[in-house]
Structure 1
């Protein structure tokens, strides 16, 4: 997974489609990130925070019981064990450090499932930055626990009542607010979406997942590299970070989307939130509301680098249903004692289906990124199980 071109595009996707007032802010951000990423001191500071605050490296856990049942070797990259309960902390610590380096005093974020909001609130408390999180009203109802966590950490949580009242609308409101305060505030994007440089920058901050996993798999597997690398995809940051560690290998990359929010599978090229990619649209080109039982995947677009990986055939994107996801949560919990987030369970659900159907060859090795833990989803699970 290489860098975008000078226009911020991965192949035909990406770019910087923003109001004129935000162009200087995006340019300032790109220059600041390039300088920080090349600065050994910044990298050391980030590595230390990832170790002593986020708890990295996260382990790769063999799913022994499930592997026996399915006849394939399954390894789980445990981002659910990172501080705050998901992979989001990797990206946020990097962006918060960058914001402070740029002289910003406040972080603005959007959130769906609440995990990015919790991570942003955590980083803000740690680094002395005020935090404002925009969250869809519907998602606030579904994820009340995470709303409480954000507020307990000192963040202001702003309900978004427009549109579908989910992640798409929260992102729109966060970006509108950023326009009004670019001099003092830093927009902390939660996924590999948004105008350049965000998709590239977030991938670079999340590639710690794939880099760690590649080293860990080399020690665990006789082949050194798994046959399949699987991760859930909404905007796609955990998958982008995971894939970055294996894109130059023979591993088959599989991104798993929600059936009702599958932009890579059912979308058409369009512009959303400042970037060009595959977007769910109607015949008139209007963005269609996405649906997923997992609030973090309730997004009608996909990160531009994922769109490029799909176009090139380097990664494959598939879908699973809500019912398959619920069944995957229960099966992983009962076989391995691990309760995954509903988002992460999308990846597990595809592995279960592919193993049962014979699509996964017997004896193959599969690395699955568990992007987060399922504590936040207990209410939804109680209603369905």
Structure 2
């Protein structure tokens, strides 16, 4: 298999999961609902990304970094013992094996290269589970940039290992003490900070949320997951294309990147949300963090607090393209409880010798449940993106298992 994938022409505008329509719209979702002070900064990011993404040199530089620094391509691992027990053919796309331990590095290396191209010297980021923060700190160290990472105080407590990793890599970690002290509030603080730092800083959003162009830019940087998996499935699966493609969804970047590789196939796309943070499954139309999408809200339209045992899924909404895919019926969004996710993590560890991140365990929990109740017919082929490894969640596992 090629280590450096060939450069691709830009995706046509009319293709599902292609470029959004005017003003960054995916159907009725998306847009650029940014403070006036950030409108010009977003326009500059949009212009720079379009130029870079059309430049084979930029794509080549990114592909080389993904290969020699991040360790791509990641393997497609058949989960043989678990497959036998479930009666389906389960394959895992191993983003947990990238450098830093999750899919986040794919997007961050792209945005860090873009920031350098734009002449920015500092990266600003938000993080929940800490994996995006670690990836941002890693890319900043690699490219000689500064990094400031905003993280909710509650998440700092439950993700102490990743906080230490960020600081060891030279990043400043800023505790956020307002609101729920989790990912939503960290994102709000990061955007407020960017208002006063647009001249020398690039806001490196970690998911497919935020004002245009971030939702589709992040998806394009994560598309490498789906592109690789598509080629691997064609070579490894008897069907060529899996019957189901499954990924966990918080804001939804690993799912968007995975789905992008299969949107034009017969594969059924399934996004798995936390029961307490189900923006796609139970959200209502609203605006948050610069985009129009589906968010958990009360009767007065105020954003309500999300909850998940997985810090990376502790977000009260979903990226606008996921909302659009739901409306189109192209993707289905389901929910999983904390207990189901914990059980799935243990089952994968004992059946396959892989300890997953709690975020990824949500996707696996749905596969286990669906295989048991017939939602996944016997013999189905299932591709599941294992978005991260479980090192960061060891303290939670120790406390609850």
Q: Same fold (TM over 0.5)?
A: yes
Output one character per residue of 1:18-75: Cα deviation in whole Å (capped at 9) or x when no partner: 1111111111100000000111111110000000000000000000000000110000
Which of residues 341, 364, 373 in structure 2 aligns to 1:357? 373
Q: Does 1:179 align with 2:179?
A: no
Match of 1:163 in 2: 179
Q: Does 1:308 align with 2:324?
A: yes
- What SS class does the counterpart of residue 166 from structure 2 fall into? helix
Counterpart-to-counterpart distance in 2, 1:30 and 1:279: 25
Output one character per residue of 1:181-214: Cα deviation in whole Å (capped at 9) or x when no partner: 1010000000000000000000000000000000
Q: Does 1:91 align with 2:107?
A: yes
Written as runs of structure 1 = structure 2, the 5 A alignment for 1:228-377 is: 228-377=244-393
- What SS class does the counterpart of residue 362 from structure 2 fall into? helix
Q: Does 1:381 align with 2:397?
A: yes
Counterpart-to-counterpart distance in 2, 1:244 and 1:266: 23
Counterpart-to-counterpart distance in 2, 1:6 and 1:316: 26
Counterpart-to-counterpart distance in 1, 2:372 and 2:35: 49
Q: Does 1:227 align with 2:216?
A: no
Match of 1:101 in 2: 117
Counterpart-to-counterpart distance in 2, 1:44 and 1:360: 39
Cα RMSD, aligned residues only:
0.4
Match of 1:201 in 2: 217
CA displacement at 1:6 relative to structure 2 = 1.2
Q: Does 1:154 align with 2:161?
A: no
Output one character per residue of 1:160-190: Cα deviation in whole Å (capped at 9) or x when no partner: 0000000000000000000001010000000
CA displacement at 1:247 relative to structure 2 = 0.4
Written as runs of structure 1 = structure 2, the 5 A alignment for 1:51-90 is: 51-90=67-106
- What SS class does the counterpart of residue 235 from structure 2 fall into? helix
Counterpart-to-counterpart distance in 2, 1:147 and 1:71: 40
Runs of 4+ deviating beyond 2 Å: none
Counterpart-to-counterpart distance in 2, 1:172 and 1:255: 25
Match of 2:12 in 1: none
- What SS class does the counterpart of residue 331 from structure 1 fall into? helix
Counterpart-to-counterpart distance in 1, 2:186 and 2:305: 13
Match of 1:27 in 2: 43
**TM score, norm. by length of structure 2:** 0.96
* Gapped regions of structure 2 (runs ≥ 5): 1-16
Counterpart-to-counterpart distance in 1, 2:327 and 2:375: 22
Counterpart-to-counterpart distance in 2, 1:7 and 1:131: 29
- What SS class does the counterpart of residue 193 from structure 1 fall into? coil
Q: Does 1:144 align with 2:143?
A: no
- What SS class does the counterpart of residue 377 from structure 2 fall into? coil
Counterpart-to-counterpart distance in 1, 2:200 and 2:21: 29
CA displacement at 1:224 relative to structure 2 = 0.5
CA displacement at 1:102 relative to structure 2 = 0.2
CA displacement at 1:5 relative to structure 2 = 0.7
Output one character per residue of 1:326-361: Cα deviation in whole Å (capped at 9) or x when no partner: 000000000000000000000000000000111110
CA displacement at 1:367 relative to structure 2 = 0.3
Counterpart-to-counterpart distance in 2, 1:190 and 1:63: 29
Q: Does 1:121 align with 2:121?
A: no
Counterpart-to-counterpart distance in 2, 1:252 and 1:2: 18
